[in-house]
Structure 1
């Protein structure tokens, strides 16, 4: 995991509005959310596992499954998951694979992140700042 310091940290947004801004940019709600916290994930690559930019958020008011919930953003970070090979191989095909792999236990939850994508991750965070803070 590689944290990327950002002006987004601590900023609060309506969850519905935030999701409406981020989905067209390629972000999706990450699989590990609950009623108090969650994340938006941007899949950078799926070479030997999956590399994501993750934007965590926490409920500031309301539960995440209720209307008009306000969330506070955490520190964005780069994350690499390497999934088990075997029974879940079928989950690795197709465009929706990241959505379904949340049910497959990662072989390495915090695999090393490829250096070639670190600058891309930083530029994605800058893009988020531009979109969300202007």
Structure 2
């Protein structure tokens, strides 16, 4: 994980507005949220796994499933996941495990981050700053 200093940190926005502004740029929330916090993710690459820019946020006046909730940004960071090839060593063969555990565990949740994506991630943060902090 590589933290990226940003003027976004500590800024407050309505989540609905953020979704309207960031989704056209390629950011997704997807399954990366809970009722009090979440992440905007931007996939930078797929070199040996996946490289993401992740911008964390926390709800400050309600739950994330409320249309009017406001959120505060945390410090953006770059994250790489390298997934196992082949069978998962920890796969459970129980009756319902195929329904629940469909994906392999990451081989390295904090994999090294390719240099070329570090600068790309920093530029993405600057783009988000220019869109949201104009």
* TM bracket, shorter-chain basis: 0.7 to 0.9
> 1:93 maps to which residue?
none
Asked whether the 8 Å contact 2:7–2:129 carries over to 1, the reply is yes
Asked whether the 8 Å contact 1:30–1:38 carries over to 2, the reply is no
Q: Distance in 1 between matches of 2:14 and 2:86?
A: 40
Q: Distance in 2 between matches of 1:66 and 1:87?
A: 39
Asked whether the 8 Å contact 2:36–2:59 carries over to 1, the reply is yes
> 1:15 maps to which residue?
15
Runs of 5+ in structure 2 lacking a partner? 89-101
Deviation at 1:80, TM superposition (A): 0.3
Q: TM-score, normalised by structure 1?
A: 0.84
The structure whose residues are more often helix, as a share, is 1
Q: Distance in 1 between matches of 2:108 and 2:114?
A: 14
Deviation above 2 Å: which 4+ runs of structure 1? 102-105
Q: TM-score, normalised by structure 2?
A: 0.84
